[in-house]
């Protein structure tokens, strides 16, 4: 079966051809090439510690001209390579599983231009998501996709993963906000795709590049849409006996014709984890689920909307529902939610995050299946979701020190993804396929479809050098 879906990963990498490190050093300077195992340790894995691998070398270009020359050089010497941003990815995308060179883009971190009137910004890939929003805040604007990792993750990584975030329910994901790119393709060509103006003629290569996980080339600049800060925001926190009532509430809010900016949920175990962290909200022990709903827009009518949401909660057996009274209170609720992954460290020596998507009306059913999978594998699973768009993040808790636990966690994760696909969903909503889910791609696409996707990839990367082995089954 695998024979049909040949991706470039099969290429063995016995180490770098002679002269490569020297050649890279000639482009970026010797102190910007890391080689030798100690210095490479930091590049062993990304935010997903389950998959590891060491590159032969890391190169840190200072600007896009250097990035272009580096990639052309690697192409000329047939060296496999991969781009890396902040290394917060959760699917092993920035891991040099089979060696090769990592092109680290942290130094490309200029916000090149902001055009507040057109609501556009031109940014280099190493700029962090939050830094971009902070750079445009004085103009009353923000960059809408807001992954929970926004303090650290880079725009280049966001583009490569088509990242989402809590507020994507209303505002859309990265691809809805990236209108153009400058890329260096795997063949070493620097090209502009799309642009700041709407409706530019030609195929939407920008749209194809977004989410391609570093397998087509490097994004050296992104042209992004900026959104005006809403006039007003209301944040509702609701506590329920169990995720069932909270899930029903999510469906009922949508059915009531309300489109919140965000609807986030955590189950009991996740709540216990975050309550042990620095952002304690004080959830009562009898609550089995917390729902955070945010509406924003014009001040006019917003209180009514928040009240309608509260009423839906009450109809679904809510234990307690409140609207944030101050910005501090709202921030605390959000910090509590946004630090949920890391907070699992309070519950377990290791954890493993999954990223399935389901039609939101299937939430209660899928949660029961997740629970059953946890029992079957003998692992505790906490659940954090972008409930509004059906994006689940089961956090599988395990102990890496015990033999076989890690493998069991990975297998449990795969079972959960299978359940999501069976319910009509997807294996990944925002974290990407990477190494982690490449086999599960077979749950989504036929061999023929995968083969066709591989062909399209080769248009950009005929030699199969860019991030080999990621995205498609090997």
| Contact status: 87 vs ligand FAD (CB under 6 A) | yes
Out of 191, 327, 372, 402, name the contact with other proteins by CB under 8 A: 191
Tokens 């939101």, located at residue: 360
- What gap in Å lies between CA 383 and CA 39, rounded to an integer? 36
DSSP state, 208?
A: H
Reduce the DSSP state of residue 60 to 3 states and report it: coil
Which of other proteins, ligand FAD, none does residue 335 bind to, with CB < 5 to 8 Å depending on kind? Answer: none
The residue (of 84 and 187) whose beta carbon lies closer to ligand FAD is 84
The residue (of 111 and 421) whose beta carbon lies closer to other proteins is 421
| Contact status: 335 vs other proteins (CB under 8 A) | no
Please give the size of the binding site for other proteins, defined by CB under 8 A: 84
Positions 399 through 438 that interact with ligand FAD (CB under 6 A) = 430-431
DSSP state, 219?
A: E
Shortest distance, CB of residue 291 to other proteins, whole angstroms?
A: 16
- What gap in Å lies between CA 188 and CA 80, rounded to an integer? 13
The residue (of 41 and 298) whose beta carbon lies closer to other proteins is 298
| Pick from 468, 472, 434: nearest CA to 10 | 468
Shortest distance, CB of residue 179 to ligand FAD, whole angstroms?
A: 16
Shortest distance, CB of residue 342 to ligand FAD, whole angstroms?
A: 6
For residues 325 to 344, the per-residue mask of contacts with ligand FAD, x marking binding by CB under 6 A and - elsewhere, is ----------------xx--
DSSP state, 276?
A: T
- What gap in Å lies between CA 266 and CA 384, rounded to an integer? 5
| Contact status: 97 vs ligand FAD (CB under 6 A) | no
The residue (of 86 and 249) whose beta carbon lies closer to ligand FAD is 86
Out of 56, 68, 161, 267, name the contact with ligand FAD by CB under 6 A: 161
Out of 66, 75, 213, 294, name the contact with ligand FAD by CB under 6 A: 213
Q: What DSSP assignment string belongs to 232-257?
A: EEEEEEEEESSHHHHHHHHHHHHHTT
DSSP state, 427?
A: S
| Contact status: 233 vs other proteins (CB under 8 A) | no
Out of 32, 54, 133, 149, name the contact with ligand FAD by CB under 6 A: 149
Stretch that binds ligand FAD, among 141-149, 257-265, 275-283, 436-444 (CB under 6 A): 141-149
Shortest distance, CB of residue 194 to ligand FAD, whole angstroms?
A: 15
* φ/ψ (deg, to 5) at 457: -60, -40
β pairing state of 81-84 and 101-104:
parallel
| Contact status: 351 vs ligand FAD (CB under 6 A) | no
Pairs from 304-309 (Cβ < 8 Å, separation ≥ 24): 305/234, 305/258, 306/234, 306/236, 308/256, 308/258, 309/236, 309/253, 309/258, 309/260
Positions 75 through 134 that interact with other proteins (CB under 8 A) = 115, 117-120
Q: What residues pair up with 84 in beta bridges, in sequence order?
A: 104
For residue 452, the surrounding DSSP H or E stretch is helix 447-460
| Contact status: 175 vs other proteins (CB under 8 A) | yes
Residues 155, 132 contacting (CB under 8 angstroms) = yes
Shortest distance, CB of residue 135 to ligand FAD, whole angstroms?
A: 17
Shortest distance, CB of residue 253 to ligand FAD, whole angstroms?
A: 21
Positions 251 through 310 that interact with other proteins (CB under 8 A) = 251, 254-255, 257-259, 297-301, 304-305
Residues 6+ apart with CB under 8 A from 396: 351, 352, 353, 354, 374, 379, 380, 381, 409, 412, 413
Out of 69, 170, 268, 360, name the contact with other proteins by CB under 8 A: 360
- Cβ atoms within 10 A of the Cβ of 340, count? 23
The residue (of 201 and 403) whose beta carbon lies closer to other proteins is 201
The residues that touch ligand FAD, with contacts defined as CB under 6 A, are 46-47, 82-90, 93-94, 105, 125, 147-149, 153-154, 156-158, 160-161, 163-165, 213-214, 218-219, 341-342, 430-431, 467
């Amino acid at each position: 079966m695998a024979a049909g879906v040949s991706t470039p990963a099969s290429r063995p990498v016995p180490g770098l051809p002679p002269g490569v490190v020297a050649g890279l050093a000639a482009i970026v300077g010797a102190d910007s090439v890391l080689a030798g195992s100690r210095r490479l340790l930091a590049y062993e894995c990304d935010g997903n510690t389950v998959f590891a691998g060491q590159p032969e070398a890391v190169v840190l270009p200072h600007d896009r001209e250097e990035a272009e020359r580096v990639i052309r050089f690697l192409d000329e010497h047939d060296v496999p390579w991969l781009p890396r941003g902040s290394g917060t990815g959760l699917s092993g995308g920035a891991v040099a599983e089979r060696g090769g060179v990592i092109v680290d883009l942290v130094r490309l971190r200029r916000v090149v231009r902001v055009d507040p009137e057109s609501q556009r910004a031109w940014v280099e890939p190493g700029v962090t998501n939050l830094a971009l929003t902070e750079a445009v805040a004085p103009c009353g604007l923000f960059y809408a996709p807001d992954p929970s990792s926004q303090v650290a993750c880079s725009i280049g990584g966001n583009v490569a993963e088509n990242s989402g975030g809590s507020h994507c329910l209303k505002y859309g994901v990265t691809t809805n906000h990236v209108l153009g790119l400058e890329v260096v393709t795997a063949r070493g060509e620097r090209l502009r795709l799309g642009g700041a103006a709407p409706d530019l003629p030609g195929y939407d290569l920008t749209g194809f590049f977004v989410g391609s996980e570093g397998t087509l080339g490097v994004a050296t600049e992104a042209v992004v849409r900026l959104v005006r800060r809403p006039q007003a925001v209301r944040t509702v926190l609701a506590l329920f006996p169990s995720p069932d009532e909270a899930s029903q509430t999510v469906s009922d809010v949508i059915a009531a014709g309300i489109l919140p900016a965000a609807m986030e949920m955590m189950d009991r175990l996740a709540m216990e984890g975050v309550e042990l962290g620095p952002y304690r909200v004080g959830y009562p022990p009898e609550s089995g689920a917390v729902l955070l709903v945010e509406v924003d827009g014009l001040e006019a009518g917003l209180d009514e909307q928040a009240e309608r949401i509260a009423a839906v909660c009450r109809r679904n057996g809510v234990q307690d529902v409140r609207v944030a009274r101050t910005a501090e209170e709202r921030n605390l609720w959000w910090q509590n939610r946004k630090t949920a992954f890391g907070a699992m460290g309070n519950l377990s020596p290791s954890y493993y995050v999954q990223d399935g998507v389901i039609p939101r009306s299937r939430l209660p059913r899928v949660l029961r299946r997740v629970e059953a999978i946890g029992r079957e594998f003998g692992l505790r699973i906490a659940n954090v979701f972008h409930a509004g768009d059906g994006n689940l993040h089961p956090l599988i808790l395990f102990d890496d020190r015990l033999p076989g636990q890690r493998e069991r966690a990975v297998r449990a994760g795969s079972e959960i993804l299978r359940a999501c696909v069976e319910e009509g969903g997807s294996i990944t909503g925002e974290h990407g396929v990477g190494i982690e889910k490449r086999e599960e791609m077979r749950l989504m696409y036929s061999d023929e479809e995968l083969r066709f996707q591989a062909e399209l990839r080769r248009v950009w990367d005929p030699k199969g050098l860019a991030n080999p082995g990621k995205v498609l089954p090997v």
